[in-house]
Amino acid sequence: MKKIIFSGIKPTGIPTLGSLLGALTHWEGLSSQYNCLYCVVDLHAITIRIDPAVLRENGRNMLAWLIALGLDPEKNILYYQSHVSAHAELSWILNCYTYVGELNRMTQFKDKSAKNTENINSGLYTYPVLQAADILLFQSNLVPIGEDQRQHLEICRDIAERFNKIYGDVFTIPEAFVPPVGARITGLQNPSAKMSKSDEHSNDCIYLSDSSDEIIKKFKRAVTDSDNTIKFSEEKPGISNLLTIYACVTNKKIEECEAEFEGKGYGAFKLAVGEAVAQTLAPFQKEHARLMSDIAELDAIASRGAAKANEMATPTLINVKNVIGFV
Ligand code: TYM
């Protein structure tokens, strides 16, 4: 039996270079070794108010990105979370095995509620429990994620261990799979914070749909420092972030990139990073546009994915209900 990989991405907007380098690029290629499920987590997306037409468009767009980036729907299970009701069912059950004290410690909840004071809803609060349900439902062994999701994986493991302690070996305890380079891509304007699709400063963030000109312009404006040496170091967050991005898109080691730009100025370096990113994204953008021109086919892919995911989730959900004591 192949081991199981599960990961999710939220359809709250166009995916960013951060999600690409921290997560999505690592998903392709895993399907030969693992049974892979990748879910567009639309239930997670409604913790913020979102126009229905926009949510629908975002969902399809996200699915199309996953396929355009190389996830073959014949080899990976791709689907929308809202199409498999077991996610919501297990989430409720796990809520009853999660402590408020644990949820209070979640940094993402603290950050998001501080940014969005007029809509601190309980979905935002119990978000990590739904995420735990996503993962545990499939007996997932590995969860490929960026650094920002590590805490959510930790709470998922805690909930699973707690449940198993009471009821026996119900859930597989999942491991995080965080890439050694690229797990935390930061903003181009604010290199001490994560690059985020929900950020309002669009110069901070490269969206996968940005044109080559936009990409190059954003990199030219990227915040650096005054020291003018291209070296990876904690004191140089802007340059280190650009080196990380360049290393990821060119498939080189950070040291090789440092050597390549030794003695060169920041201007030339920023241009080279922008061009490399634009070049990397161009074929994906073309494929994405092609996929978006056939919505019926995209929807059919999602339905087939949901049917398979549903089939895989059902035994675990039945077992959970059984051990708890539901008639
Ligand atoms: P989301 O949609 O914010 O991000 C999707 C994936 O991209 C990674 N990522 C980044 N990596 C490096 N640098 C960045 N700047 C960056 N921004 C995003 C994220 O770590 C993530 O792996 N809660 C999740 C979705 C989710 C999920 C799950 C993930 C729901 N259920 C179950 C794994 C397993 C989220 O909002 O990801």
**Residues listed for the chain:** 327
From the options 1.10.240.10, 3.40.50.720, 1.10.3080.10, 2.10.109.10, give the CATH code of 202-289. 1.10.240.10
Q: Please determine, looking at this structure, whether the domain spanning 3-178+294-324 carries the CATH number 3.40.50.620.
A: yes
182: left (phi over 0), alpha (psi -120 to 50) or beta: left
Domain positions in the chain: 3-178+294-324, 202-289
Cβ 148 vs Cβ 108: under 8 Å: yes
* Residues 6+ away with beta carbon under 8 Å from 275: 216
Q: Choose which residue among 81, 109, 149, 207 to substitute to test ligand 1 binding: the one with the highest number of ligand atoms within 8 A of its C-beta.
A: 149
- pTM confidence score: 0.96
Pairing mode, strands 175-177 and 76-80: unpaired
Q: Which amino acid is at 28?
A: E
pLDDT at 199: 63
Rounded Cα distance between 239 and 235, Å, is 9
Half-sphere exposure at residue 275, Cβ-oriented, CA atoms within 13 angstroms: 6
**pLDDT tens for the chain, residues 1 to 327:** 899 999 999 999 899 999 999 999 999 889 999 999 999 999 999 999 999 999 999 999 999 999 999 999 999 999 999 999 999 999 999 999 999 999 999 999 999 999 889 999 999 999 999 999 999 999 999 999 999 999 999 999 999 999 999 999 999 999 999 999 999 999 999 999 999 876 666 799 999 999 999 999 999 999 999 998 999 999 999 999 999 999 999 999 999 999 999 999 999 999 999 999 999 999 999 999 999 999 999 999 999 999 999 999 999 999 999 999 999
Please tell me the distance between residue 193's alpha carbon and the centre of ligand 1 in angstroms. 15
Q: What is the pLDDT of residue 131?
A: 98
The protein residue whose alpha carbon is closest to atom 19 in ligand 1 is 146
Burial pattern 29-42, b for ≥16 Cβ within 10 A else e, equals: ebbeebbbbbbbbb
Q: Are 37 and 77 in contact (CB under 8 A)?
A: yes
Q: What's the Cα-to-Cα distance from 258 to each of 127, 145, 221, 254, rounded to whole Å?
A: 40, 26, 20, 6
For ligand 1, residues with CB inside 6 Å are: 6-10, 18-19, 22-23, 41, 44, 131, 134-135, 143, 145-146, 148-149, 152, 183-185, 194-195
